[in-house]
Every structure is written in C-alpha cells, then in structure tokens.
Structure 1
Amino acid sequence: MTSTDGPLLLNDNNSPAEILDEASAPRVVPRDQHPISRANISSNALKVLYRLKEAGYQAFLVGGAVRDLLLGLHPKDFDVATNAHPDQVKQLFRNCRLIGRRFHLAHVRFGYEIIEVATFRAAHTPIDEDNSVDEAGHRVLDERGRILRDNLYGTIEEDVWRRDFTANALYYNISDFSIWDYVGGYEDANARVLRLIGDPETRYREDPVRMLRAVRFAAKLDFGIHIDTATPIPKLAWMLDGVPPARLFDEVNKMFLAGYAIRSFELLWDLGLLEHLFPDLAASMNADANSVAARVLRLGLEGTDERVRADKSVTPTFLFAVLLWPPIRQAFEKLQAEQGAEIQALLAACDQVTARQQSRVAVPKRFTLPLREIVGLQPRFAHREGRRALRLLDHPRFRAAYDFLLLRAAAGEVEQEVAQWWTDIQAKSAEDRTAMVEQGGDGESSAGGQRRRRRRRRRPRPPAA
C-alpha cells in the first residue's frame, strides 16, 4: 500500500461537533467578499432562481456548483434549492417535470440543459424510543444505522444537515448574491479540506456510499480529507459489502471515468476500500504491487485520465479490462500451467474473475462481453502471418484490443516491436498489408509476453534405399 499521509490532514480547532452547535444561524458572506459572479452561472439557472424569487419563494444555488464557482472552476450542473414545494415549482414552469416517488424533484428543461430544483428537506423525525420509525410507522433506519426512508420537507436550516460535506453545503442567495454558510464550508472549501457534517461514523453508517463520495470528491477537487472524516473509513469499509452491486457500479464509473482515476485508485487502496469493491484486484496488488500487470493497470488509469482531459471518449468496457487485468493475468498463469492452451486459459481466467466481480460491483453484460473479446484477442496479436492476421484487422473489437496491446507494450508485458508492427500495418494499403503478412514477424509473443520461436519446417528425408 502507498502512504496514507497524502489524503489526511491534522485536526484543527473546529471539530464537527463545535460547528454543529454554532450553526443555528448562517454566516452570510456578502457579494463583495466572495468571487462568485452571475456571469459564470448558467443563464437558465438564473432564470429559475429569479422566477422563484419573483413568486415570493426563497431560491438558492446550492451544492457543488457553489463550491466550484468559489474555487474558480466551471460547474457542469447547477442545482437549485427552494422552500417552494414541487407542485408549486411546476406551476411556475411549463417546461417542468416532476420525478421521484419518495421525494419529488422538479426538473426544469431548457433544451439539453436540465436545472434540478429541490425543496428544502428535513431530517427524518423518528417518534419512538428506538429512533427507527417515522410518523406513518415505516422504518427509517435499519439495524446498522442506515437510512431507509428520507422524504420530509423542511427549512433551509434543516436542509443543510442532509448534505454530506461542509464544502458541498453552501447556498448562493439570488436575492442579494450572498453565500450562506451554516457549517464552515466556506473556510473548508478555500482551505481545500473535505470534512463530513456531523459525526463521521454515524454519517457513514447512514449511507456507506459516503465513504466512496469522500474518495471521489478528494480526488476530483484535490482536497485533503480531514483526519476525523478519514479515520473511521478503514473500520467501516466492510459496510460496502451490503450496498447493492448495481449502485456500486455507478459509483465506480463516477470515480474512474471523470478524469481522476489514478488518484481515486490510490485513495481507495490507502483507505482500505479497494478490497470491498475489487477483492481479486486488491489481492493481486497486495501480492505484488510492482508486477507488470500492475504497471498495465496504472498506465491504463493514467491514460483514461488523459483521454478525459482531452475530451475523448472513455468506456466502462476498457476501464474494467484495465482494473481486472492483474487478477485475470494471475488466474491465466495458473490455468495455463494446468491446461496448456493459451487462448482457452485466458478466456477461462477472464470468465472466472468477471463472475466473481459481479457480487461486489455488478458490471452489465453489455460491458463484460466486449471486455472478454478484448482480452481473448490478445494472443492473436502474436500471429502476424497469413489471412488470419488480416482477419484480425477486420474484427469489430480490433481497435479496443489494439489499444490494450499498446498499453501492455508500454508496461513491458509485450515486446514493443509487436505493437509497432500492428501500428504500421493499419496505415498500409491492402496490397502492402498482404505483403507484410506474407513476410510475417521476426518472432511471436504469447499473451504472457514471452517470445516464442517459430518452428522450422524440415524437409522430409528421402526414403531409405
């Protein structure tokens, strides 16, 4: 494992409990004391805010958009919080649609942009002695402290406690362009500190996915995780085992397909979360963190981040091929020793690892099936003679498999000459391609990266006289 010093910070004088006690009234940061300008806010979000205000309701830009604007970043989404109920919001906007069953949200659509409008929400209000049911008699907490029901309207003072991190609990007031801060989020955002609101262990037990959100925001924003927020995570990481695997798939995509995959991976490993998301991968990394397959993984995650920064497409298929390659490679080496057949052993290893993975992070078949093809095509790159090589160029998964080959070559798992040959042939005409495959390569490399010599064809001996 890498050092945990990076994501953690020393404690300071403002503990979460002290912040909560002092939060009955917000700190109001006036317009001349913060950098947020309406020029950087979506014009459609401003329309929603102003119309709510003109109708007599409170209207705030809230959450990540306020945080990002404060940091000089450019938010992708602009969310609004208000004391207007969903039906009242719908009456104000003809282009509004209500979604959600337990708690209605208003989606106000402007072409391709959707402004989400949420009514202030209250904390669950249990009425019995064990604090586990609501007024209708439904359970709101399970035996582990996880929230089951969460659908009451409230005030802005109550709404703030529903948010997870202080830096995400800032409210931009359209009435006077001030920022309202109930929990010290203004200072934490400027200091780039990620701190949970309330008691961290209680908040993680309410929703274990908050541990993954801590990783995601720390990686995305380059924030340090406050020591009080980070300390309970290794102890409570096991709670992720009870989260639906489909939900974890969505969280993994958010962490790894948004331009900060390598940092997310490091934090997951440091905080003891990786083994609860990718147990086979964690076992492989713990066995040998510097293996050639581990280098493929790190280069793949760095390449994913580079593609996102370059505004190029990224897919879960390639991401999970990268994340699962170390355990696939480990299983392949064992199976090949037993079976001998290279392609069959590689496909069997892929099937074993992906099947086990489904119990933790459920990867849909639309991604695992092409992943299997990408992996299964790797041994075919060793064969550069005849029509079989030309047919590989026409395979529907050739490009993705070729990209994976380049990754393996960069990590030293495959000889660079093999990758260069496949790079060169793609730029050739049909006639020149035929000439190349007739010449073939100087040697062949297996999926395991070992160079294999071609057998020499011997002329048959003449029969004895």
Structure 2
Amino acid sequence: MTQTESPIFPVVPELRVITRDVHGVSRKQMSPNALRVLYRLREAGFGGYLVGGAVRDLLIGGEPKDFDIATDATPEQVKALFRNCRLIGRRFRLAHVVYGREIIEVATFRANGGDDDGDRQTDDGGRLLRDNIYGSIEDDAVRRDFTANALYYAIEDFSVRDYVGGYADVEARLLRLIGEPEARYREDPVRMLRAARLAAKLGFTIEAATAEPLPRLAPLLADASPARLFEETLKLFLSGHAVAGFEHLEAHGLLSALLPETAKALTSNKSGALRRMLVQGLRNTDARVANDEPVSPAFLFAVLLWPAYCRALAQLQAQGVHAVEAQRRAADRVTMHQVARTALPRRFSLPMQEIWLMQPRFSLRQRKRVFRLLAHPRFRAAIDFLELRLAASDSHADDVAFWREVQLQPAVAVAASEADDASEPEDDDAEAEAEADPDAAAAPRRRRRRRRS
C-alpha cells in the first residue's frame, strides 16, 4: 500500500493544472516578499509554490494576510539561501524568512508516514505528535487538511496546481476534508474548530461527510492542548466572523466542548436572553474588526462566559450565599473551569472578572461611588458591557441612561441624583443589594430610611 493509499488518506492524487487565463490570479495581488522567496528558490534549483490559504483567498477575491510557501528544499537548505531566515518548530519543522514585520513561512513538502519513527509520532488515539517526514508535492497535497487548502500556485507558468479537487470545491464554496474524516479529526482534534472557523470566514458549507463526525468527536477537544484551544478561540472570534463562527459551533455540537459552562447555561436559559446578549456582543466584535478598531480578549471572554457566570451566580445565591460573596465565587468558579479547557491568561481573566463584578455597582449612585467608578481603569469596558446587557433585558435602561449622562456632564448628573443619595447607606453592604440575578429583570430596590432622632 502506498503512502497516499493509507486508510487515513484513501486519496490518489490526480493533477489538474488551472491556467492563468482560467483562474485569474495575478502576481500583483501577492506579497512582493513572497515572490522574492519563490524566485530565489527557483534560481537555486528548488521547486517552490505559493500554497494554502493565500491561493484559496485569491481565488475567491479575498485579500490574504499571510503568504505561505511549500518547497522541496529542506529547512536547512532554505536557511542556507536566506540570511534573514530562522528555523522554528519541533512538531513541524519550518523556515521563517523575515522581511521587517512580514514573515514568509516556508515548509518542506511532507509525506504521510507509515509506522511511527523518529520523525513521525502519534499517540494511541491517532493524534499526531510529530511529523517531519519529507516527500513530494503529491504527498504534501494529500496530507493537508482541506481540499481548498491544497492548491499550489507555480511562478514558472502562473498556473494553479490541484491534486485533490480543491479548485472545484472552492468554486462550489465547499469545505471538504482530505482523507477519512474521523481519522483526520482524531489525528488533530483542533481541526474540528478549524473547520468551523474556515466555514465561517469563507462563507463555505461544510461538506456532509466532513460535518457528520463533528458532534460525535467533539469530546476529543478535551484532550487537546489548552494553549492551542485558546489560540484557536481567538482566531475563531476575533477574525471578523464571530457570529457565524458561534453559529457553526452550535450547529455542529462543538460549543459544549469549547465553552462547556456557557453551553449548559444557554440550554437552561429558556427565555433566550443570554444567547441574545452573547450574539449581540459577537456582532459588535465583528463590527469593530471591520472598522479596524481594537478588540480586547478580556472583553470577548467576558461576553462568551457571561451566561456561565449568571448560572453559577444564581446557583450560589439559591444556596444562601451572600450576594457580594456569591459574585466573587461565581467569577472564580467559571474562570477556573474555563482555564482548564482553554489556557486563558491572567492578564485577560482578571480584567474579565472586574467587568463582571463592576456590573452591580452601576446601580449605586452616591456621589463618592460615581466618581470612584468613573476613575476605575475598567470603567469604559464595564459600561460598554452594561449597555450590551440591554440586549438581554431592558431592566438596566435607567442605569445606562444615567451613566451616559454622567459621562457627558458628571456634576449635573450626580446632582440630579442627590435626593436618592441621601437615603442610600454609605457602607459596603449596599453592593449586596444590587441585582441578585444579572439575567433577570431587576426588581425595584427598597431604600433604607434613616431613623429620625
């Protein structure tokens, strides 16, 4: 049995050459630095091709962010050609050719190894741990993940080389795995999230056989590296297609594997209020990305995990835990559970918790508290989050209106609320009276009256 006829890769590569007059891709659309690398490889007697996402995106009229190259030169041979080259990676040995802020990634053609050896290693479940077996361009094509990513642009005749039917799939806007889908997902479970992300980004449909194993194999993500899952989560939700990505996670049974506590909370929230807020938050994120505005991972995870926080808070309060203590414990509990799944760094998890814990404080309008909140380093993010919560419930409308006015005319807005301030306690227990259930409509607060002497 040949490498390309293995059970995992029951694909026999068949070359189709798409000429320049058919595919319409021009070198003017490509990175000059990528072309420089391609021509240098060719001059040195090596084969070199623009490959993967760049070719795919150019074919559908997109603008690639990265230009990757595949070659028959080994990483060491590539390094010998470019002084501005460094070698990286153990699982996959790669060459990075650096031009200022742009990095051109150059990978040697890889083959599908048979038995594990020193350069290819899998675990008992079939998950790929190390893969540095080099081969031909045909070998390289069939071991890539999706057919749409196995297209090669050749500078010698400006053609696109297709070995696995990727060109037809791109034309049909179809995302199809190369090889046997279940085996490919077991080889790398994160590939399931990649399928959802690419389908969302490209507007492609996931081909039926490629989609079928996703709900069954989703639990395999629990064994994936938390660091990789965190990186893939950022790619999924910060690339401008967060809503579509979330919908793919839901549709293919992947949400409970990536955000298990949030999935449980959304299922138990029969009103759908939490889902409305989460989707609106992702919609806002997509708008910011489209406008080249910064998006904080801390705010993103505050949105993604808010349903889980609300559920944990309600459970603790049902057990009789004091409101302020319940808020802190709920935040810690949700963070701890999610960190075990995705390696959420503290530089993001701590601001995320601050955004949550500041929410009840927006109902307390004493002069000192108002100006203290205005000076808080997380105020801007927390007030944006408060406004986002209107998508779930309009019970916070008065607070949103007050704080909008405060930001415009702090002294006037605070003065207008001084009558209420006079009847509010000044101790920290006031925070315990703020909203008991962040998802429910808040009941009118009963004000404590000072006793007359």
Report the TM-score, using the length of structure 2 for normalisation: 0.90
Counterpart in the other structure of 1:190: 171
Structure-2 separation of matches of 1:333 and 1:48: 58
Match of 2:140 among 152, 159, 163: 159
CA contact (8 A) 2:255 2:263 kept: yes
Runs of 4+ in 1 over 4 A off after TM superposition: 19-22, 439-445
CA contact (8 A) 2:70 2:106 kept: yes
CA contact (8 A) 1:410 1:416 kept: no
Q: Following superposition of structure 1 onto structure 2, how do residues 125-274 of structure 1 map, counting pairs within 5 Å?
A: 125-126=114-115, 133-134=116-117, 136=118, 140-274=121-255
CA contact (8 A) 1:166 1:188 kept: yes
CA contact (8 A) 1:195 1:225 kept: yes
Match of 1:92 among 75, 78, 81: 81
Structure-2 separation of matches of 1:263 and 1:120: 33
Structure-2 separation of matches of 1:99 and 1:212: 24
Instruction: Return 5+ residue gaps in structure 1 as ranges.
Output: 1-15, 127-132
Residue deviations 1:248-288 (CA, integer Å, cap 9, x gap): 11111111111111111111112111111111111111223
SS of the residue corresponding to residue 346 of structure 1 reads helix
Instruction: Return 5+ residue gaps in structure 2 as ranges.
Output: 1-5, 425-432
Residue deviations 1:412-449 (CA, integer Å, cap 9, x gap): 25421211211121122x64465345355899962634
Counterpart in the other structure of 1:418: 399
CA contact (8 A) 1:445 1:451 kept: no
Residue deviations 1:221-257 (CA, integer Å, cap 9, x gap): 0100000100111111121111122221111111111
Structure 1 residue 309: Cα displacement: 1.0
The 3 A distance-change label for structure 1 pair 149 and 455 is closer
Say whether residues 1:343 and 2:332 are aligned partners.
no
Structure 1 residue 198: Cα displacement: 0.6
CA contact (8 A) 1:124 1:140 kept: no
CA contact (8 A) 2:273 2:391 kept: no
Match of 1:42 among 9, 28, 31: 31
Q: Once structures 1 and 2 are overlaid, which stretch shifts more, 334-343 or 438-447? A: 438-447
Residue deviations 1:362-421 (CA, integer Å, cap 9, x gap): 211111111111111001000112211111000011111111101012332542121121
Query: Counterpart of 1:300 in structure 2: which amino acid?
Result: G
CA contact (8 A) 1:259 1:306 kept: yes
The 3 A distance-change label for structure 1 pair 458 and 86 is closer
Report the TM-score, using the length of structure 1 for normalisation: 0.88
CA contact (8 A) 2:11 2:142 kept: no
Structure-1 separation of matches of 2:447 and 2:90: 67
Say whether residues 1:457 and 2:449 are aligned partners.
yes
**Matched residue count:** 435
Counterpart in the other structure of 2:415: 435
CA contact (8 A) 2:97 2:104 kept: yes
Match of 2:49 among 57, 60, 66: 60
Counterpart in the other structure of 2:428: none
CA contact (8 A) 2:113 2:120 kept: no
Structure-2 separation of matches of 1:240 and 1:95: 37
Say whether residues 1:81 and 2:70 are aligned partners.
yes
Structure 1 residue 337: Cα displacement: 3.5
Query: Counterpart of 2:50 in structure 1: which amino acid?
Result: L
CA contact (8 A) 1:390 1:437 kept: no
CA contact (8 A) 2:72 2:136 kept: yes
Q: Once structures 1 and 2 are overlaid, which stretch shifts more, 96-105 or 52-61? A: 96-105
